[in-house]
Amino acid sequence: MFGNLGKKFADDIATQVQQKIGEHLSNKARENGSTEQATDSLGQVTGRRKALFIGINYFGQNGELRGCINDVHNIKHFLSKNYRIDEILVLTDDQTSNPGKMPTRQNILAAFRWLRNGAKSGDSLIFHYSGHGGSVKDTDGDEEDGMDETLIPVDYQQAGHIVDDEVHDVLVRGLPKGVRLTSIMDCCHSESILDLPYIYTVDGDLQIIETSKNEGIVTLVGAGTRFLLDGNKNKAIASMKEGMKSLMSSATSGGGGNSAAREKTIKTRSTEADVIQFSGCRDSQTSADAQIGGEATGAMSYALITSLKKNKNQNYTHLLKEMRQLLSGKYTQIPCMSAGRKLVLDDSFAI
């Protein structure tokens, strides 16, 4: 209605309104006991740094993607330029002349073992995945929504998916105390793809009760504000649908999800290592394979790089907030952050 300048103004105002409403609801959540404060200190990285990057475009297959290999190159370039990385392994499905570097199910699991092999206190491990993610029915009762999340390798039609239970068992379980694993998951249904027990709010608190209701309210308020200011009906409708979906999710679960599943996850998936995951969306959502600045890219990978370029020294919870604000109103996905123990994440982001 008002051109690009008007749209930017509408986005800025809507973001500020959403932020204020979100802060108010977060304070209420603390008061009514639906969040708790983190207590564990994040260890220092003093040792070697290993990184694993996996990007799958699924060339010639149904559901072919465009931006996943670009994501790997962009994230690898940014991290290598701004942080020290000692060893790097890249699996992408354009490396057809090197079968060992193709992101097959077997190679991905082998790469997980390579990444963690020999890790000791003070070491840092980095894992970035951009590709398809899926969900299947949970069979062991550790998922609040009743669904396991999956990674989808390039040969999934022959070899099958990699279920989150296996991702946790091969990549995460048993990592020594003092090791830091930072995981960046740009795929659909990715909130709990590492099966970590502690989900964070943008204030650095830990969710005790699912906060879909609050996110739904914030999204609806932002959609209404944008529509009033710039008249973008399609964008407003998309955001309103996502807001209603969050509200309905909260209503269906009674606001608390499956507490028995949550308790099982805490008991069986808590870690001694400092395991931190950034994910592109909630378990019930999809992550966008987008076109930004003339390049195919995952919206979450783009948001992470863009946010860190603004301020490389921001802490983890502020980075999560920046990523959410950057995607808000443009995409329906909500980036998430989780950890293997109750880490206080007010240190500057580092790998």
Query: Catalytic residue numbers?
Result: 132, 188
> What gap in Å lies between CA 225 and CA 221, rounded to an integer?
6
E strand or H helix that includes residue 215: helix 212-230
> What backbone phi and psi angles, to 5 degrees, belong to 53?
-120, 130
**Sequence-separated contacts (24+) of 153-159 with Cβ below 8 Å:** 153/56, 153/103, 153/104, 153/105, 153/107, 153/108, 154/56, 154/58, 154/61, 154/93, 154/102, 154/103, 154/104, 155/104, 155/105, 156/105, 156/132, 157/61, 159/104, 159/105, 159/106
Buried b (16+ CB within 10 A) or exposed e, 40-50: eebbebebbbb
Nearest by Cα to 147 from 167, 132, 163, 160: 163
β 274-279/180-186 pair status: parallel
CA 207 centroid distance within chain: 16
> What gap in Å lies between CA 40 and CA 100, rounded to an integer?
39
Both tokens of residue 301? 């990978």
Nearest by Cα to 209 from 224, 199, 219: 199
- Please give the single-letter amino acid code of residue 192: S
β 35-36/87-92 pair status: unpaired
> What backbone phi and psi angles, to 5 degrees, belong to 249?
-60, -40
